[in-house]
Chains A and B, each alone.
Chain A
């Protein structure tokens, strides 16, 4: 029986998948997008007041991945047995139409140009010896100048609010002085500072730093994007991170792309379709299509396609490559292979500052992408020479809306009671009069930190789980400690009556039980050398040229910024080269 044939199959309906689907249907291709989770739209699941429910939302994890079907195993070091990630905690992958793009927070960064060429930049400044043994520091193989038009395009699609510093070489505003030149301003003015963010801004400025408004894909005004999709103004409802936005104010594939895409007859979205593998020809150099399970009928289906785009999120993309046999699996012992190499994450520690009891921080007020940051200790913006580490962290107050269950469960500990009357006192005081300051930093890649297939545990489809070997390393721990030490004078200037500065400790292993971020990266990285990268600079597999792998899997190391702005720009960048070059003559865009 002949399989249904389409020009392009896209795996995953998040930002990466939806951007690629839009671009490829615009190019006239027939496109099927397969999403393992259910359909999701704002007027149904996102509607007020039912979606304004902390228990059902962030606590019972209404919108996140259902681990009973599939998960990963995790260990810190290669001599340990990895164990299943049985309950969501450290990271919260998405599932369903929109992916994690439906319930992200919306901090929407570009990139520090030097982060795209971090290896070259560190060597130029500090010499090759500065790079510690075992650290796989690499360049992306693409420059900021090349990506700039695609950052600009993504911001216009997302309706991003922000304040620029430099546009076309001219200083135009009070934005981040470390940020690179832009071809155009943000489409919307910056979000207002919450009270907490405003006092951080003043204190950071007085301390001689350079505060700026976080770029936010939360709309500061009403907006219509280039696709004709509309957003309403954000009202700082505080049910942002981990929730779908009832006001159509937070950018999501569901609000900003799919309404336009769904009208295109060349486009088909199939929810409840779990892709099991990419089918390859016998030489494993060409994909012939994909095989997926219709999770409702439990029927296995297959599609034939000329082009296969993986947009299933960082570690799912790596998993699909490994189970399908795309490229050579990474082996840390022989240091060969590329699929699974340079698995990275992000360091983050949240410190807390208490203000006098006459001051109310109203932490429930907030928007996921709003806040004030400093970049004085991010990327290559400061002198690492005497400090002896690579990388850095922005520091920020990003009050996204603190809700009571999360506040209550997190309160106490570290010497203060976790229950009883004294706990209640502390909880109430902390909730009303404190604020959080984060150091949200880079995480470098290491030879013995990687992804492969687990030898023991399987998902419900009978496939081996992906295994993560990951822990914090000395370079990143010292970076975090240094940056956190810079928070103290700012907190003091804010009028702190008490502070709890939290940093990573020497030798502290990664803990799967506490939320970090969902900013996982690497594992199928881009680069200019097929020996050390799974993808070329257009995110095309070096080994199977009709497979493009879009997502933070492409990052050679974890950066201080949130990833989605770069993921979106890389998606538009890859799509541009598919449209202008690949489709005219399919094959490798770079000679291996």
Chain B
């Protein structure tokens, strides 16, 4: 049988016990809703985004990856927390990118040529979207209806909006990529809460041992995912 979201999820907030057998006993919450409630009692404090930016990331990522019949969306999976935490890594500072000038633009197929690293893309991109939505809708992005939010995301994706120096499409791709990373990365990084992303896909996580499952004639893999820390669902 496939693991589904109807099964109770165990999620431990006792980080010190992760990966030990006592983790299983100590894991707190009996269900998905309980996990969410526990989380709401201690909301994550962003360190890179300010309150307005964080609300934007939460709202926009939920539209990109919404909760639906398939399972949790970006908000329940902790995608905004994931992205905020990523902003403190070398990746967000572009430390593995070639960032020497001159920065000359060319055909799209020759790749990214902007002088902005992910941190800049978020700072400038969010400010640009907020400016755009206030102009066109009289409110900030997070306060718009889902339909209006989708209109804006569609415009960004389609490339018809420029956000200051950042093309809307570039910002959209950055947000989409990081949102999906947050939904499916190991929970170690703050997203994929309760392994909800992996359960939806039927991905076993860090099991990394399929000796007896190389060919089972198309049957679904039977075991629930497990994370690097030993968290399981």
Contact A420 B64 (CB under 8 A): yes
B70 CB within 8 Å of chain A: yes
Residues in chain A near residue B211, CB distance under 8 A:
233, 235-236
Instruction: Determine how close the nearest CB of chain B comes to the CB of A126; give it in whole angstroms.
Output: 33
Contact B186 A54 (CB under 8 A): yes
* B201-222 CB contacts (< 8 Å) to partner A: 201-204, 206, 208-211, 213-221
A403 CB within 8 Å of chain B: yes
**How far apart are the CA atoms of A297 and B100 in the complex, in Å?**
22
B25 CB within 8 Å of chain A: no
Contact A408 B180 (CB under 8 A): yes
Instruction: Determine how close the nearest CB of chain B comes to the CB of A64; give it in whole angstroms.
Output: 8
Residues in chain A near residue B186, CB distance under 8 A:
53-55
Partner of A458, one of B70, B100, B150, B200: B100
Contact A419 B109 (CB under 8 A): no
Residues in chain B near residue A421, CB distance under 8 A:
66, 68, 70
Instruction: Determine how close the nearest CB of chain A comes to the CB of B199; give it in whole angstroms.
Output: 11
A503 CB within 8 Å of chain B: no
Instruction: Determine how close the nearest CB of chain B comes to the CB of A47; give it in whole angstroms.
Output: 11
A84 CB within 8 Å of chain B: yes
Interface residues on B, range: 35 or more
Chain B residue at smallest Cβ distance from A422: B68
A416 CB within 8 Å of chain B: no
| Per-position binary interface string of chain B over residues 91-124, scored 1 when its CB falls under 8 Å from any chain A CB and 0 otherwise | 1001111111010101111111100000000000
Give the most central of B65, B89, B96, B186: most A CB within 10 Å. Answer: B96
A382 CB within 8 Å of chain B: no
**How far apart are the CA atoms of A37 and B178 in the complex, in Å?**
28
Residues in chain B near residue A418, CB distance under 8 A:
157, 176
**How far apart are the CA atoms of A68 and B202 in the complex, in Å?**
37
Instruction: Determine how close the nearest CB of chain B comes to the CB of A525; give it in whole angstroms.
Output: 26
**How far apart are the CA atoms of A428 and B196 in the complex, in Å?**
13
Known pairs A68-B95, A83-B104, A84-B98; A512 contacts B111 (CB<8 A): yes
| Per-position binary interface string of chain A over residues 394-425, scored 1 when its CB falls under 8 Å from any chain B CB and 0 otherwise | 00000000011101110000000011110011
**How far apart are the CA atoms of A193 and B215 in the complex, in Å?**
7
Contact B219 A81 (CB under 8 A): no
Residues of chain A at interface, number, CB under 8 A: 73
Partner of A237, one of B153, B184, B208: B208
B197 CB within 8 Å of chain A: yes
| Per-position binary interface string of chain B over residues 178-202, scored 1 when its CB falls under 8 Å from any chain A CB and 0 otherwise | 0011011110110000000110111
Partner of A419, one of B63, B100, B111: B63
Residues in chain A near residue B198, CB distance under 8 A:
404
Known pairs A418-B176, A420-B150; A359 contacts B218 (CB<8 A): yes
A538 CB within 8 Å of chain B: no
Chain B residue at smallest Cβ distance from A412: B176
Residues in chain A near residue B107, CB distance under 8 A:
76, 80, 509
Instruction: Determine how close the nearest CB of chain A comes to the CB of B8; give it in whole angstroms.
Output: 21
Give the most central of A54, A84, A425: most B CB within 10 Å. Answer: A84
B144 CB within 8 Å of chain A: no
Partner of B180, one of A83, A233, A235, A405: A405
Residues in chain A near residue B213, CB distance under 8 A:
236, 362, 365
B177 CB within 8 Å of chain A: yes
Extra A-B contacts (4), CB below 8 Å, given A53-B188, A432-B202: A86-B99, A365-B214, A409-B176, A427-B201
What are the 8 closest A-B residue pairs judged by CB atoms, nearest first? A404-B184, A237-B208, A55-B185, A359-B218, A408-B180, A511-B109, A419-B64, A360-B220
